[in-house]
Amino acid sequence: MEENIIKTEYSEIMQKSYIDYAMSVIVSRALPDVRDGLKPVQRRTLYDMHELGIRYDKPYRKSARIVGDTMGKYHPHGDASIYDALVVMTQEFKKGLPLIDGHGNFGNIEGDGAAAMRYTEARLEKITQDGLLADLDKDVVDFQSNFDETEKEPGVLPAKFPNLLVNGSEGIAVGMATSIPPHNLGEIIDATKAYMKNEQISTRELMRYVKGPDFPTGGIVTNKDDLAAIYRTGIGKIKIRGKVELEKGKGGKTNVVISEIPYTMIGANISKFLSDVAALSESKKTADIVDISNQSSKEGIRIVIELRKDADAQNFVNMLYKKTRLEDTFGVNMLAICEGKPETMGLKQIIKSNVEFQIQVATRKYTNLLEKEKEKREIQEGLIKACNVIDLIIEILRGSKDRATVKKCLVEGVTEGIRFKSRESEIMAAQLMFSERQANAILDMRLYKLIGLEIEALIKEHEDTIANIYRYEDILSRRDSMIQVLINELDVLKKEFARKRRTVIENCEEAVYEEKKPEEMELIFLMDRFGYAKTIDPATLERNKEAVYGESRFVFPCKSTGKICVFTNRGQLHTIKVSDLPYGKFRDKGVPIDNVSNFSSAREEIVLVTNQTELNLYRVVFVTRQAMLKIVDGGEFDVSKRTVSATKLGEEDQVVSVYVLKDRTNIVLRTKGGYFLRFPLSEIPEKKKGAIGVRGMKLGAGDYVEEVYYTANSADAYLPYKDKEINLNSLKLGKRDTKGTKIRG
């Protein structure tokens, strides 16, 4: 076999392949179709249930049966995606109008997952059967081959209402995402009818009917004035709050009761909300909380926060809005597949697309019905005509040898090969001229149809057929008639399935929370050699002084309102609020510095931990391995950011010492090679924190500064070094940027 090598640009192949993949994800997986509001997996699951006959008025069937059949026939992408889609379509806390009636454990609003598919059962909801799957047998939508071309599936379901708006949708595709909130069925139907009556209607006029989203969890939309722009463009942010009520508790206490939550809080975010509220108390943001309990049940959400007797309940509620997800934002991006491509649409565009689709579906439906009625009329007229000359037809039947001869006589008037009783009968037979369809109906007609009542029923049926033909032709020829039919269907759906709005739409003032300033306390900061930090009160230090200083790497006083500064060998400064550190007993473990700051023990080492208040009063000396020195005013480190650069470092250099300069006059540098250099601190210039500094000592090849000591002229400073003691103040006082003196062990 001869090889066929195709030479092409690699980048072109990659570009084409990625575009093909992206469009496949966008169109065939992640985004809903604007016409029926469904993603392919949802559409296939509903259609499969329809084909299996699992209707709303039939018994439930195992979910595993539905999932397996859907996967085998229409969606060969794994059972998990199919079952997940089925579960979501049953959950009334996620969908404005559940499309599947689930029986068993299908999860709950608090984030517990559904039971395995072998345990749960499901069937279609009535709204799904009536509003999405009706008329599928009337050839109203195009069918396409499935993945292996053994079955046919609808490309879209004949939705009779804008399901995309009613149930909303969420999905992440390649480079784009959709996020459409659910709405109230009755309001969407009213808006759809209004558009049908006036296609020039504006978005603002449609909002007379659609007040805003209607989340199944209720809640309060607080930015009503922003909705007009969101519905016009299809993009924006909706602010939602939970519903809070204040109840009188025991002993004069006040209970804050949350009965409705923001839609974004469903699932694991409820437990996170509870932990966030508890954290407010633990971090001393509030001292008002006495108890928290989640009393939610099948009847609804009920989270109770008991406050102390003299608490400002409204201020506490405002704090919940500010500090937790009790007030949250729902990002709107109304992106859907329209005419085969993704498009961001506003409220009017979505309704318009659905109405146009409904008209297309109705046109196909009534065209097919009209053809069938015309066929019926033809047959009925033939039977009525046959009843009027039934004696002649019987004579033809009795005088013929076979069916073909009779049919030829009835259709073409050919009388050859037929025995007639008289010449007159033969002449009449030659003038019959029935159509092919009429002739077959006459030959298939049973004798009981000749009974008088049957003939009357046939005539009545013919009159009904004529009326239907007239009605269908009127619907197809006049848009007003078509629109009225669609409006009537919408009215039926609204009457049976619409329910009251659950979400309140209003303009709310932004929650104002007056944060009480914490009481300023004198504390002692402790950090052990493992990097665990905490604070204790001064009295605890006095009782455990020997153990505290023996077990701690850093010990110094601080205020509860202050900050702690952490200097690292990488030249970084990390700040920590004292209030973020645990306060308690000396033997409490504390918290790793990593957990309360941006410091990472995996990347850097701590050189100095000190109090920012103290830094503001003094100057700071920096020394690096490559003997670069500088003095910086401590006020430069009074920063609001959690992490800043404390000094500039040369390549492969790092900080060896950071020292708060108080009463020392000299500095001693000791290198790895045993060189000591003592000189006055006054020789080190003051620089900005962004400067690299000046050279403090000449280093030999491969040598570096290992230790730094600070001394005063008035006191001896002894240092153990290689089996002997050295008095640092007895070292010759040299000059900065000299080699120093080598001391041998």
Active site residue ranges: 119
C-alpha to C-alpha distance for 249 and 339, rounded to whole angstroms: 58
Helix axis angle for 347-388 and 479-497, nearest 10°, is 110
523-545 b/e with 16+ CB inside 10 Å = b? bbbbbeeebbbbbbeeebbeebe
User: Alpha carbon of 641 to those of 262, 343, 574, 576, 604: distances in Å?
Assistant: 32, 41, 8, 10, 19
Hey, CA dihedral for 535, 539, 540, 544, is it positive or negative? positive
| 107 φ, ψ (degrees, to nearest 5) | 85, 175
Contact in structure between 631 and 685 (CB atoms under 8 Å): yes
The torsion angles phi and psi of 471, rounded to 5 degrees, stand at: -65, -45
DSSP sequence for 2-34: ---PPP--HHHHHHHHHHHHHHHHIIIIIS-BT
Cβ atoms 36, 141 nearer than 8 A: no
> For residue 123, what are its two tokens?
């069937």
Distance, CA of 142 to CA of 357 (rounded, Å): 12
CA neighbor of 304 nearest in space, from 315, 319, 289? 289
Strand partners, 567: 573, 608
The answer to whether the beta carbons of residues 629 and 689 sit under 8 Å apart is: no
> What size, in residues, is the chain?
745
* Phi, psi angles (nearest 5°) of residue 510: -65, 135
- How far is residue 67's CA from residue 79's CA, in Å, rounded to a whole number? 6
DSSP 7: P
Tokens linked to 88:
């979501």
